[in-house]
Structure 1
Amino acid sequence: MRAFIFPGQGSQSVGMGKALSDASATAREVFQEVDDALNQHLFRLMSEGSESDLTLTENAQPAIMANAIATLRVLEKEGGVRLADKAEFVAGHSLGEYSALCAAEAIDLSTTARLLKLRGQAMQAAVPVGEGAMAALLGLDFDAAREVAEEAAQGEVCAAANDNAPGQVVVSGHKAAIERAVEIAKGKGAKRAMLLPVSAPFHCALMQPAADAMAEALAKANLRAPLVPVYANVTAAAVADPDMIRALLVQQVTGTVRWRESILAMAEAGVSHFVEFGGKVVGPMVKRIAPDATPTSIVSMADIEALAAAL
């Protein structure tokens, strides 16, 4: 069994998608549709913009999605591969969940781009710059990291935001609380604990204004049943009902990204091959979570051709 998976924020880099666009009309169509949907030259920013502009959450989120979907569409249209024939499930890390839903045709590409643009803007606006922070706690399991967050909160918000892989948990919340968490984690045996260069404290209660904005936008968006079930970040379980998907996407803004549990659940369901589209981020995590699984990262035209030949 196989799952198609999609990376989240942090996987962006200037130049992303350019070689694929040069090689494929299908990829160019994807990037053009996203540009048109956003009324923005996003692909120009992706291919030749500044790192700081691309890293802005409102740009990074649709850009990462566009790159992933372009990679998949080239496989489908030029490689003659249908997602529904080759994957039992889809999943994505944080914003990657939107990419997964787009890939499985639950949300069309233009709508996905607009939702992610809004999500990025709303997440950035939810907390004034400098008031929030995130930190990676390496070498602690999820329960230990959650205890660190609870101890560090002291009346402020401090939550385990991303359960990425064994010994790789990210905490999010008020800056002072996150700084306390870093020191507490070091005292509890973390191999490393460090603040992350992010612009807002994602996946914690401080994101509630963004969750409210997404609830309003998703209520108006056309969501269909995906071609294959999606493993939701907040439940680490498969879902196919559009109304449930909509509700879980709202919860996801403030909830924990349960990536480790999602990969484990898919592996337990029989998935042995995980194919990451548009990045080399979540694939390596898979190997740490499920050592017997085979992850493949698909970024270049050569990667796509090799996968098409193997499927």
Structure 2
Amino acid sequence: MTIALVFPGQGSQAVGMGVDLAGSFSVARETFEEVDESLKQNLFKLMSEGPIETLTLTENAQPAIMSVSLAIMRVLEREGGFEITDKALFVAGHSLGEYSALAAVGSFTLSEAAQLLKTRGKAMQEAVPVGEGGMAALLGANLDLAIKLSEAASEGEVCSPANDNADDQVVISGNASAIDRAVALAPEFGIKRAIPLTVSAPFHCAMMAPAAVAMQEALAKIDVAPPLVPLVANITAKPVQEPDIICRQLVQQVTGMVRWRESVLQMKEEGVDKLVEIGAGKVLGGLLRRIDKEMSAASISDPKGVEKFLLSL
């Protein structure tokens, strides 16, 4: 069994996430306290009690999702003796999950990852006035079809693939009016369903350019260490370990497409046969079943998942 660790992105947040981890493991509780201290915010209280509307705000959801992933990593390492350099061939993360992955392999400290994601969340929210951007999930569409639909719907506005999630699921992003046109045109392109998403901003498209500038400035202030295990980057779907390239790709990722399907297939080609999802929810495990049925998946989001995974090693 050759594994890669993968880290979820936005949309995995839920009120109550991390609570059972904090109740079962002191190291998890300390992780949440460290994030709270670095952000000067009681984020764990928000994660524990809600409201979900506040937790879902991008500037809160991003560091919150990362904190659960890193709490699980620390439990695996300190309670279970898990060593990432011995057990994992690669790490990868979906959008903000790249920051979780990089913290897990020592490129960022926990505090740096939390602060970067707070900055990223705020910058992405502020890049486009609320209501001017939109996103939609295309079910039954591959990337080629999504590109053709986006081109037909754009009419001079921004409309482009944001997440290539699986052979039959691509998310598009851009001006709200262009996304509306794409949803209306989808049946003409043989796309089974086009579902407008409830999002606060149009992520991973050209409209996020101001946020990319903000992240370039924020990353320039950090001394990024080479990852202990190669990262398969969203923007290229290729392994990377050089800190300067990682930073450049994190900036590009803000406006670029998340090549998740290609990333999974790249890891398989390099010898990975199992993806282990570290964090809230089971989104990435679900996508794997739509990308490659030969690879297996495990999801670790709570104490039971931790125990089951450690026993499987």
- Give the partner amino acid of 2:25: S
State yes or no: 1:176 paired with 2:157.
no
Offset of 1:284 from its aligned partner? Answer: 1.4
Gaps of 5+ in 2: none
- How far 1:308 moved relative to its partner? 1.1
State the aligned residue count.
311
Tell me what 2:78 maps to: 77
Aligned-pair CA distance for 1:68: 0.8
Partner of 2:15: 14
Asked if the contact 1:172–1:202 (Cα under 8 Å) also holds between the matched residues in 2, the reply is yes
1: CA distance between counterparts of 2:70 and 2:20? Answer: 15
Does residue 152 of structure 1 match 2:156? Answer: no
Alignment correspondent of 2:288: 286
- Structure 1 CA distance for aligned equivalents of residues 271 and 135 of structure 2: 34
Q: TM-score, normalised by structure 1?
A: 0.99
CA contact (8 A) 1:145 1:185 kept: no
Post-superposition offset of 1:287 = 1.9
Structure 1 contact 34–109 (Cα < 8 Å) conserved: yes
Greater displacement, 46-55 / 179-188: 179-188
Give the gaps of 5 or more residues in structure 1: none
2:111 is the counterpart of 1:138: no
Q: What's the CA shift for 1:293?
A: 0.3
CA distance in 2, matches of 1:236, 1:41: 35
What SS does structure 1 have at the residue aligned with 2:79? helix
**What is the CA deviation profile of residues 74-111 of structure 1, one whole-angstrom value per residue up to 9, with x for unaligned ones?**
11110111111110100000000100001111111000
CA distance in 1, matches of 2:290, 2:104: 25
Name the amino acid aligned to 1:102. A
Q: How far apart, CA to CA, are the structure 2 residues paired with 1:150 and 1:106?
A: 38
| Aligned equivalent of 1:304, options 303, 306, 312 | 306
* Alpha-carbon displacement from aligned partner over 1:215-270 (angstroms, at most 9, x marks no partner): 00001112100000000000000000000000000000000000000000001111
Aligned to 2:195: 194
Partner of 1:217: 218
Distance in 1, matches of 2:84 and 2:48, equals: 27
The aligned residue for residue 244 of structure 2 is: 243
In structure 1, what is the equivalent of residue 167 of structure 2? 166
Runs of 4+ in 1 over 6 A off after TM superposition: none
Cα distance in structure 2, aligned partners of 1:165 and 1:149: 17
Q: Could you say which residue in structure 1 is the equivalent of 2:208?
A: 207
Structure 2 counterpart of 1:309, one-letter code: L
- Is this contact kept in 1: 2:47–2:55, CA < 8 A? yes
1:43 aligns with 2:37: no
- Corresponding position of 1:96: 97
Distance in 1 of aligned mates of 2:22 and 2:163: 32
- Does the 8 Å CA contact 1:101/1:226 hold for their aligned counterparts? yes
Coordinate RMSD, CA, aligned: 0.6
Letter aligned with residue 243 of structure 1: D
C-alpha offsets along residues 149-171 of structure 1, whole Å, 9 cap, x if unaligned? 11111110001000011110000
SS at match of 1:91: strand
Deviation of 1:286 (Å): 1.2
Q: Report the secondary structure of 1:288's partner residue.
A: helix
What residue number does 1:87 align with?
88
Deviations 1:145-195 (A, max 9, x none): 011011111110001000011110000000000001111112211111011
1:5 has 2:9 as partner: no
Mapped to 1, the partners of 2:71 and 2:104 lie a distance apart of: 10
- Letter of the structure 2 residue corresponding to residue 282 of structure 1: L
Secondary structure, counterpart of 1:303 in structure 2? helix
Task: Provide the residue aligned with 1:274 in structure 2.
Answer: 275
| Aligned residue type for 1:307 | F
Question: What secondary structure does 2:227 align onto?
Answer: coil
How far apart, in 1, do the equivalents of 2:44 and 2:219 lie?
25
Amino acid of the structure 1 residue aligned with 2:304 = A
Tell me which amino acid in the other structure corresponds to 1:297: S
